[in-house]
Amino acid sequence: MSEVRHAVLQFRPEKSRLRESLARLRAHLEALRPHAPQVVVLPEAALTGYFLQGGVRELALTRHELLELLVGVYEKVGWEGVLDVVVGFYERDEGAYYNSAAYLELPHRVVHVHRKVFLPTYGVFDEERYLARGRRVEAFRTRFGRAALLICEDFWHSITATIAALDGAEVIYVPSASPARGFQGGYPENVARWRTLAQAVAAEHGLYVVVASLVGFEGGKGMSGGSLVVGPDGRILAEAPLFEEAALLFPLDRERIPPVRYDSPLLSDLEAGLPLLLSDLQRVLGRRDADT
């Protein structure tokens, strides 16, 4: 199967109210059901809202609790067949708390969980005060091929997408919660930056990039939305409006990837050239350690 039906849900959670957010998700899935998507992609912190701060401890879930809750929604909707879901959530694991994203295969299993590596502590952000860092970026196998998860600022560092691509990812799912800022001409600069980054990453590595952005207002900060889908040639295939809930429906065709990579073999060039640069990477890291 090369073409996979996707839906990106640009979602507004009920902040700090898990039950109500799950009810909203149920309503969205009921609306999507006639379109029969095989993969539904939700934003960062989709079930609780993003700016929880100390409230993370009360609302964090284990990955198994998350699966149980979403299986409950799946069953109430009466979904027929397997449904893959990407969802951002605050995770609890042995006394530590993470900003995580899960790839679930409903109603069966948790396929993969990624923990956010880059926790912003600038501007309105203060994630590292409340959360532990993830330590891995890796691709994983789904029933539709290999994928990777990166969460918001993870994607703003080029090395993470590079690792995912080298690990075989054909699509990078990016749950995001990005407050609007830096307006110029009525358009948020952060949304423009997301478009530029997504197009550059997709074109460099010859893969799909799917960004699912939160919307709604939290503590006076408006989440911008602007979710988008970029094909392996760097072209935008779908884009959601700003500041409102929306669903992007699109087919993701894996067969588009090989010809793009053949015509622009940047990923294979990277695979060939990277071993030549590893000594420089080790040198730079060693110098930093010596300086500290």
- Structural domains present in the chain: 3-263 (3.60.110.10)
pLDDT of residue 1: 60
Does pLDDT of 153 surpass 70?
yes
Q: Mean pLDDT throughout 5-30?
A: 97
Does pLDDT of 184 surpass 90?
no
Q: Mean pLDDT throughout 257-266?
A: 98
Which residues, in sequence order, are CB contacts of 280 under 8 Å at separation 6+? none
Does pLDDT of 192 surpass 70?
yes
Does pLDDT of 13 surpass 90?
yes
Does pLDDT of 290 surpass 90?
no
Beta-ladder partners of 242: 225
Q: What are phi and psi of 282, to 5 degrees?
A: -65, -35
pLDDT of residue 291: 75
Higher pLDDT, 187 or 66: 66
Higher pLDDT, 154 or 186: 154
272 Cα distance to chain centroid:
28
Residues 43, 116 contacting (CB under 8 angstroms) = no
Total residue count of the chain as it appears in this document: 292
pLDDT of residue 158: 95
The 10s digit of each residue's pLDDT in 94-122 is 999 999 999 999 999 999 999 999 999 99
**Is the pTM above the cut of 0.85?**
yes
**DSSP H/E element including 135:** none
Does pLDDT of 292 surpass 70?
no
pLDDT of residue 117: 98
Does pLDDT of 239 surpass 80?
yes
CA dihedral sign, ordered 102, 131, 126, 22 = positive
Q: Mean pLDDT throughout 11-39?
A: 97
CB count in 10 Å sphere of residue 151: 27
Here the tokens at position 197 are 């980054």
pLDDT of residue 288: 73
Residues 86, 149 contacting (CB under 8 angstroms) = yes
The 10s digit of each residue's pLDDT in 49-76 is 999 988 999 999 999 999 999 999 999 9
Count of helix runs (H) and strand runs (E) in the chain: 7, 16
Residues of the chain above pLDDT 70, percent: 99
Amino acid in the structure at residue 204: E
Does pLDDT of 47 surpass 80?
yes
pLDDT of residue 237: 98
